[in-house]
Amino acid sequence: MDFKDIDFTDFVRYSLTGVNFILFVLVLPAIYFVPNLIKDLVSETSVLTILLFSIAIGYLMDMLKIYQFMPNFKKTKAKFRNQISDLLDIPVEYAGSYFSITSKIWDENSTYNLERRRAEWVLIMHTAAALFISSFVWIFLVLNDYLQNGFSKSLYAPVLIIIVTFILTIRLYRVGSREISKNDREFLLIMSANKKKIKDAWKLTEKK
């Protein structure tokens, strides 16, 4: 594999997503509760294997569109489509069809392209999802340890981690929501400034 050919946007969206999932959901809980297991895996697993595994997880999370489980995502998306419909004076079901041509105009006039911005907020949302899943992994492990050994001071740290994880999850969802709204506003500004060009470039039959 030639790592020079890896697109930065794909690296952010898939590789980092997978790495975050592995780190928060698998590695960190295992380090605390089964440290010997992690030591053996790290000594026997290559960096390339970990990278390929993280990419596979990242692709899976993207295919499942885990980011769509964020609060109010469908409502925000529907609002954005309605805004495109009103701006271009087209039926709302055609709104998505004009997205690609507007993205191309964005990329032609900006060094910070739309796909990179999208990859970044998807990474934020998927990291929030990984933290949310991780919190339940920690809860399960804490309860399992409590049922087997009873309460001990060693459980203080995991309980604190669970609380911090929930706080970070909420924070990331808020940051991600803010980034999506910001991108939508800028997208609509570009669409408004190039309305005629966009409509002429994309020939669709509008409903009467």
Could you tell me if residue 207 is inside a domain?
Answer: no
Could you tell me if residue 48 is inside a domain?
Answer: yes
Could you tell me if residue 206 is inside a domain?
Answer: no
Q: Which residues contact 29 (CB under 8 A, 6 or more apart)?
A: 134, 137, 138, 141
| Number of domains observed in the structure of the chain | 1
C-alpha distance from residue 143 to each of 104, 147, 150, 159 (Å)? 51, 6, 9, 10
Show pLDDT as tens, one digit a residue, over the chain (208 residues).
444 445 667 777 788 889 999 999 988 898 888 877 776 666 666 677 778 888 899 889 888 888 888 878 888 888 888 998 888 888 888 787 777 777 777 766 665 567 777 888 889 999 999 999 999 999 999 998 888 888 888 888 999 999 999 999 999 999 999 998 888 888 888 888 888 878 777 654 444 4
Could you tell me if residue 208 is inside a domain?
Answer: no
Q: Which domain holds residue 153?
A: 3-201
Could you tell me if residue 102 is inside a domain?
Answer: yes
pTM: 0.79
